[in-house]
């Protein structure tokens, strides 16, 4: 069975493999060959502790920073680990007097696009290689021009790795967006199916009431009249037929009542479907077991509000956790949401929030927004079950 690895997993293991391969010349250059030179009367072997410590630190930092890469939003400690990677790679070149650090910086280049915006990533890519210029001059005896040319060569190699990581990130984001849109589509389809089912049940109940119910009523009345005009054994059969007609009419009325009573779109099921396909965001749901909404328009408005809340948490708030609570209160439905994103001073309503307010206002509802820097984003959506006159 072939291995099924995501783009991020492939990049991670490829980076670890390259790191391990760099360790081979590192050991040979700092251990075996210097030892041979020393035995032949050359300079003594350099200290192994520093290069091995820098090399090991790089591998550990790379393992930590790529754990869950792309499955969560970058945090401050990810940037710290990125800085550790860069410094460890430069230290390897400085302590060994080789260009092995430039190869390690190629590994770093594949991680940079996942942790910072494109412009800042390109700047980081260039600056981390610029730090190799004095290393080449002092450690390998290059002239300044030769050191710059060597650094430019490593920048070219790392740029290819950087672009590869950037493309992989874009593809991963496209897949996440597709998953989110598929979840929205499934939730909308569930509401549409519920709405169609409810409309069909209502149509059937009307047909039963208007056609079969009226005909049975007319039959019952005719049988009652026939009972007054009939005598003997025929009267007994007429009375039995009259009783059966009344029982059948009662059964039809009960069936019609049951079909009319089972009304409402199950908003709980639609919200659960919506939250299932949200990538890079943990959605905590507090929902009743079933919350039927009779008005399809109001159910659709609430679903669209939930979609907009999830979209804002993923795209704009950089949140990793979102809590959605749906409750049915007297005369209204309440949807509360709170994320752990970065928040802000004043919420600047974009097209999404304006559209949410417009949908709610059309149905007599409202939304209250609360946010503060570092305290996330919270919304309180209230939608009346009936429009006020």
Identify which has the larger pLDDT, 200 or 341.
Answer: 341
pLDDT for position 38: 46
- Checking if the pLDDT of 287 tops 50, the result is yes
Confidence at 337, pLDDT banded by 50, 70, 90: confident
Question: What is the C-alpha separation between 362 and 243, in angstroms, rounded?
Answer: 52
pLDDT at residue 43 is higher than 70? no
pTM flag (> 0.75) = no
pLDDT of residue 301 exceeding 60, the answer is: yes
User: What pLDDT, on the 0 to 100 scale, is given for residue 35?
Assistant: 45
* Residue-level pLDDT at 40: 46
Q: What is the pLDDT of residue 61?
A: 92
What's the mean per-residue pLDDT of the chain?
A: 77
pLDDT digits (tens, 9 = 90+) for 55-99: 999 999 999 988 877 666 777 888 899 999 999 999 988 888 778
Query: What pLDDT is stored for residue 86 in this prediction?
Result: 93
Q: Please tell me the CATH code under which domain 264-384 is placed.
A: 3.30.565.10
Q: What is the pLDDT of residue 201?
A: 65
- What is the arithmetic mean of pLDDT over 100-119? 90
Res 160: pLDDT:
92
Percent of the chain topping pLDDT 70: 69
Q: What is the pLDDT of residue 122?
A: 93
- pLDDT computed for residue 89 by the predictor: 92
Q: What residue segments make up the domains of the chain, in order of their start?
A: 7-176, 202-261, 264-384
pLDDT attached to residue 104 = 92
What confidence tens digit (pLDDT) does each residue in 118-146 have? 999 999 999 999 988 988 888 778 888 98
More confident residue, 21 or 68: 21
pLDDT-wise least confident of 172-176, 254-258, 264-268, 383-387:
254-258
- Average pLDDT on 5-11 reads 75
pLDDT > 50? residue 1:
no
């Amino acid at each position: 069975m072939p291995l099924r690895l995501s783009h991020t997993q492939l990049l991670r293991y490829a980076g670890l493999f390259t790191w391990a391969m760099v360790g081979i010349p590192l050991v040979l250059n700092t251990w075996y060959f210097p030892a041979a030179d020393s035995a032949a009367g050359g300079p003594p072997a350099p200290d192994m502790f520093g290069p091995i410590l820098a090399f090991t630190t790089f591998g550990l930092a790379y393992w930590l920073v790529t754990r869950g890469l792309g499955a969560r939003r970058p945090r401050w400690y990810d940037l710290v680990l990125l800085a550790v990677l860069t410094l460890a790679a430069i230290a390897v070149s400085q302590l060994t007097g080789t260009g092995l650090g430039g190869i390690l910086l190629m590994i770093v280049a594949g991680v940079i696009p996942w942790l910072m915006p494109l412009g800042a990533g390109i700047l980081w890519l260039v600056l981390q290689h610029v730090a190799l210029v004095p290393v080449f001059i002092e450690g390998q005896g290059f002239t300044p021009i030769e050191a710059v040319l060597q650094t430019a060569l490593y920048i070219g190699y790392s740029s290819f790795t950087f672009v590869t990581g950037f493309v992989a990130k874009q593809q991963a984001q496209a897949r996440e967006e597709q998953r989110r849109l598929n979840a929205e589509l499934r939730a909308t389809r569930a509401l549409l199916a519920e709405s169609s089912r409810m409309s069909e049940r209502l149509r059937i109940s009307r047909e039963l009431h208007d056609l079969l119910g009226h005909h049975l009523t007319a039959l019952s009345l005719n049988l009652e009249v026939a009972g007054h005009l009939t005598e003997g054994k025929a009267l007994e059969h007429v009375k039995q037929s009259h009783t059966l007609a009344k029982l059948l009419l009662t059964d039809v009325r009960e069936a019609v009542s049951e079909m009319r009573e089972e009304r409402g779109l199950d908003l709980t099921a639609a919200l659960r479907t919506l939250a299932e396909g949200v990538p890079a965001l943990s959605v905590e749901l507090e929902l009743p077991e079933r919350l039927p909404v009779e008005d399809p328009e109001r159910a659709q408005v609430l679903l669209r509000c939930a979609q907009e809340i999830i979209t804002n948490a993923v795209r704009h708030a950089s949140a990793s956790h979102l809590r959605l609570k749906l409750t049915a209160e007297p005369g209204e439905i309440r949807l509360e949401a709170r994320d752990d994103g970065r928040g802000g001073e004043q919420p600047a309503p974009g097209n999404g929030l304006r559209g949410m307010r417009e949908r709610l206002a059309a149905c007599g509802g409202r939304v209250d927004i609360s946010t503060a820097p570092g305290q996330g984003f919270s919304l309180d959506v209230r939608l009346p079950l009936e429009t006020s006159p």
